[in-house]
Structure 1
Amino acid sequence: MSLARRGRSLTLSGFVIAGAIGIVSSTQTWLTVERADAGAEILVPGASALVLLAPLSLAVLALGAALSIAGPILRLVFAILAAAAALFLGWSTLQLLVTVPLAAVGPTVTEATGLAGIGAVSDVVASVTPSFWPVLALVGWVILLAAAVFALFTWRRWKTGGRRYRTGADAPVHTEGPVDAIDSWDDLSRGTDPTR
């Protein structure tokens, strides 16, 4: 079976892997704040560092589930939405890794110290060190983007959903060969006697 013909399963796998990485990493420590006042370090979880991390990761999982039964046009729409989510999450995660993300750690620092405002937070923060989790999340967003791009190029060649998703006139009529239980029930639903 060619790579393009396995497009649905490959794309679905990419969506599930990326979404799962996002959900799991949202509960883990992404950033460690060393305090300038020699206080205890502050641990910032992924969901606090990147507020849309958990909701968008859940959306990616939902897109993957919907993609498993979607028709041709929805495949294209879901692939575009997934690519947009991958680009947004990837860019946001990269910004946390390459800059000093005071805005990302601000709410957690405020909660731990009681100091509010970017000036007060920057006075408390000596350094911000990222953990392994945002790097792993970034890998997940690359996988998601690759799966979405793959879907954009192969969505026309995917096999359509099984007969269990078809109703009425769209359902194929069984005319010859062995009849299985599903075909018999489908024939009965259409008013045809499958025993003839």
Structure 2
Amino acid sequence: MTDGRMGAAPGEGALAGRGRMIAVLAALSGAALALIGSTQTWLTASVAGATLPVAGSEAVSVLQPLSLAALALSLVLAIVGPVVRYVLAALAVAVGGGIAWLSAALVAAPRATAASAVVTEHTGIAGESAIEDLVQGMALTPWPAVTIVAGALIALAGLWTLGTAHAWRRAGRRYEKRSGRTAAADDAPLDAIDSWDDLSRGDDPTR
């Protein structure tokens, strides 16, 4: 027998409690890993008997800005409203996909021009054709592959958000009017982000 209130769909309570946390942690982890990867050596270039290390940010110039953008959106994702969630989710898919694609392109076909900045700094010679002539060999490290995984994680966090954001609770939901809302949504367990929101307002989330 029902009491006149509509019940939540199976699994919706779990999404309300954990969906946002999963998305934020996945995007944050991927962004942090990509940012770390941008500072690590991606390849070494052999030039005139010298071995020159090339960092990720030098091999792929947009890697660091994309990683910082992913880091920022992952932090904002924890506090925004329903509409902005979908915008940030779409951005996460695009940014994460871009990071993974650019990293995979370097792994699939490493080019001497990826070391242009380092070679020019070392030799004073610039120009794509001149650099290709100077570089005698290249060797990749595992970091490009690690960054592919990082980009994929960011993109998956965006896809997860697109699929689950409708079930997330809004910050401050306990202080809104309860009319028209389901008992299941009210009774769903608080996640860590909800608890932090309550603490920031001076309320005890354990009550």
Q: State the one-letter code of the partner of 2:15.
A: A
| 1:101 CA displacement | 2.2
Pairing of 1:115-126 with structure 2 (within 5 A): 115-126=125-136
Structure 1: where are the runs of 5+ without partners?
Answer: 174-181, 187-196
Q: 2:87 aligns with which of 71, 77, 88?
A: 77
Tell me the C-alpha RMSD between the 2 structures. Answer: 2.2
Q: Give yes or no for contact 2:98–2:151 (8 Å, CA) kept in 1.
A: no
Q: State the one-letter code of the partner of 1:63.
A: L
Q: State the one-letter code of the partner of 1:12.
A: V
Pairing of 1:92-107 with structure 2 (within 5 A): 92-107=102-117
The CA distance in 1 between the partners of 2:126 and 2:144, in whole Å, is 25
Residue equivalent to 2:147: 137
The CA distance in 1 between the partners of 2:124 and 2:104, in whole Å, is 28
TM-score by length of 2: 0.75
Q: Which moved more, 1:151-160 or 1:103-112?
A: 103-112
SS state of the match for residue 50, structure 2? coil
Q: State the one-letter code of the partner of 2:77.
A: L
Residue equivalent to 2:184: none
The CA distance in 2 between the partners of 1:70 and 1:116, in whole Å, is 46
User: Does 2:168 match 1:151?
Assistant: no
Residue equivalent to 2:7: none
Q: 1:29 aligns with which of 41, 64, 75?
A: 41
| 1:97 CA displacement | 0.6
Residue equivalent to 1:193: none
SS state of the match for residue 151, structure 1? helix
Residue equivalent to 1:42: 52
User: Does 2:15 match 1:4?
Assistant: yes
The CA distance in 2 between the partners of 1:146 and 1:32, in whole Å, is 31
Q: State the one-letter code of the partner of 1:116.
A: A
The CA distance in 2 between the partners of 1:78 and 1:151, in whole Å, is 9
| 1:58 CA displacement | 1.2
| 1:172 CA displacement | 4.0
| 1:145 CA displacement | 1.2
TM-score by length of 1: 0.79
The CA distance in 2 between the partners of 1:152 and 1:50, in whole Å, is 28
| 1:109 CA displacement | 0.9
Structure 2: where are the runs of 5+ without partners?
Answer: 1-9, 179-197, 203-207
Q: Give yes or no for contact 2:70–2:96 (8 Å, CA) kept in 1.
A: no
The CA distance in 2 between the partners of 1:101 and 1:8, in whole Å, is 40
Q: Which has the larger radius of gyration?
A: 1
Q: State the one-letter code of the partner of 1:21.
A: L
Q: State the one-letter code of the partner of 1:147.
A: A
| 1:105 CA displacement | 1.1
The CA distance in 2 between the partners of 1:127 and 1:9, in whole Å, is 45
Once the two structures are superposed, residues 143-186 of structure 1 have per-residue CA deviations (whole angstroms, 9 ceiling, x without a partner) of 1111111111111011111259x7xxxx449xxxxxxxx8xx99
Residue equivalent to 1:128: 138
| 1:100 CA displacement | 2.4
Q: 1:113 aligns with which of 120, 123, 126?
A: 123
